[in-house]
Amino acid sequence: MAAAAAPRSSGKEALPAALGSASEPPRLFDGTTRLYICYFCPFAQRAWITRNFKGLQDKIELVGIDLQDKPAWYKEKVYEQGTVPSLEHNGKIMGESLDLIKYIDSHFEGPALLPEIEAALSKFGDGPFFLGQFSLVDIAYVTIIERIQIYYSHIRKYEITNGRPNLEKFIEEINRIEAYTQTKNDPLYLLDLAKTHLKARPLPETNAQPPQL
């Protein structure tokens, strides 16, 4: 089943520069709804996709945070956990990506991303999406699948879609959704981050298969 129709986009969004330690904070609690993200964080990407799919680019302002040079004010004045994503809305700050995507879906206008559960489960397995149509479930998984595919392909020399036609179709179809593709980074950039932060290195080629996904 095709994805629910998303509002038309006028093109790729011009992203503000990520704010680092030398930056000044935005004017907090001034009535502006802000989504604080890191552009390459898979958890922040979930909230970003949800915002985009619901057509909220003019309602929820993106604030990029440089996690490698994190401004002190972010933890002190915005979100005390210091992680991304976080959302500033109605005079409150909230975080945790899975909570945020449900909050954005239920508190803002735009296509619903959490279908009625009984109807959705009746379509489970219809594909290509988990609940028959594009939903928060797909958003929760795709940012992780995106990175697993990159890492296995470049580091283990293995394509995760081999022998998995449903996964292959899922990846193919979700890459037709602009709300998602607008949030993607260059795969080689994500690979470099993995090598730096996770100390991931290519393995010698073997006939061993990776664990089942």
The candidate with the shortest Cα–Cα distance to 13, out of 35, 28, 32, is 35
Residue 90 inside a domain? The answer is yes
Distance from C-alpha of 199 to C-alpha of 34, rounded to nearest angstrom: 33
- pTM, full prediction: 0.86
Which residue range(s) make up the domain with 55?
34-107
Computed on alpha carbons and rounded to an integer, the radius of gyration of the chain in Å comes to: 18
Tally the domains of the chain.
Answer: 2
149 φ, ψ (degrees, to nearest 5): -60, -45
Residue 28 has pLDDT above 90, yes or no: yes
Residue 139 has pLDDT above 80, yes or no: yes
Give burial (CB, 10 Å; 0-12/13-18/19+) of 78. buried
Query: Do residue 121 and residue 188 come from a single domain?
Result: yes
Domain C-terminal end among 88, 107, 126: 107
Residue 61 inside a domain? The answer is yes
* 37-57: pLDDT as tens digits: 999 999 999 999 999 999 999
User: What CATH number is given to the structural domain containing 84?
Assistant: 3.40.30.10
pLDDT score for 2: 44
Query: Do residue 155 and residue 83 come from a single domain?
Result: no
pLDDT score for 116: 74
Domain C-terminal end among 72, 91, 107: 107
Give burial (CB, 10 Å; 0-12/13-18/19+) of 129. buried
Residue 163 inside a domain? The answer is yes
Residue 14 inside a domain? The answer is no
Query: Do residue 129 and residue 76 come from a single domain?
Result: no
Domain C-terminal end among 85, 107, 129: 107
Distance from C-alpha of 184 to C-alpha of 39, rounded to nearest angstrom: 9
**Residue 34 token pair:** 């802000």
Query: Do residue 126 and residue 186 come from a single domain?
Result: yes
* 110-129: pLDDT as tens digits: 999 987 766 767 777 777 99
